[in-house]
Amino acid sequence: MNDLKGKRALITGGASGIGRATALLFAEQGASVAVADINAAAGTEVAAGIESLGGRAIFLGCDVTCDADCRRAIELVRSELGGLDILFNNAGIIRRATVPQTSEEEWDRIMAVNVKSVFLLSRHAIPLMAACGGGAIINVSSGWGVVGGRSAAAYCASKGAVVQLTRAMALDHAPQNIRVNCICPGDTDTPMLRREAEQLGTPEAAFLAEAAHRPLGRIGRPEDIAQAALYLAGEASSFVTGTILVVDGGGLAG
């Protein structure tokens, strides 16, 4: 299909889960992909896998909470790939806890990874994107960025912030032909989802079974979210910006 042929994409949290699935799909669709993650071994493996199939990929070691790392990542994308057309702000973490159970350090860490990273990478990416004639920024929020959830106060706050940041950026950067949209996944089968069961002290099988209680009767696959990202990255969504796309098997429908 090659819907993204000739495009250059940077994907954070690209070493596993949704990020990995999106990196593989974007490469399959013709994009050159920069896989950014703090997990060098897994990120390098993803990039090497893409290259082995004839695609173009590089790995970027990047702490998305560090301004210097984010600046360096964008500079490397410029020098190695020649520009930037797509930024997928996907890196994220969760802490299942109420406000009294959440330490200040945990609060700050969740806000840094889930929200500050979107700000930092976008701040450095937007000038490059604009110089390339425009592009697409896709931020990952959550169903809990739209409605509240129990025992996830800091996470809910961070993902709600991503929703509003997306809307503000869409307004600000439309004149530069930069579209900014947001995906709100429901429970998706990733390492982070399985860590939630551990944090709550719930048997993993029971936790995943409960998460599947939604109209479509299952939890999401990383590939489901990757397909939504592909839509928002490509020409099919050329008139779409400021949109919050919920991909959750009907969990928020009623």
**Alpha carbon distance 10, 118 (integer Å):** 12
Does 155 participate in catalysis according to the annotation?
Answer: yes
Largest separation between any pair of C-alpha atoms in the chain: 51
**Alpha carbon distance 62, 84 (integer Å):** 17
In 219-231, which positions are buried (b, 16+ CB within 10 angstroms) versus exposed (e)? Answer: bbebebbbebbbb
Following DSSP, what letter does each residue of 138-187 receive, concatenated?
EEE--GGGTS--TT-HHHHHHHHHHHHHHHHHHHHHGGGTEEEEEEEE-S
**Alpha carbon distance 91, 113 (integer Å):** 7
Choice among 59, 88, 155, 207 that is catalytic: 155
Which are the catalytic amino acids? 155
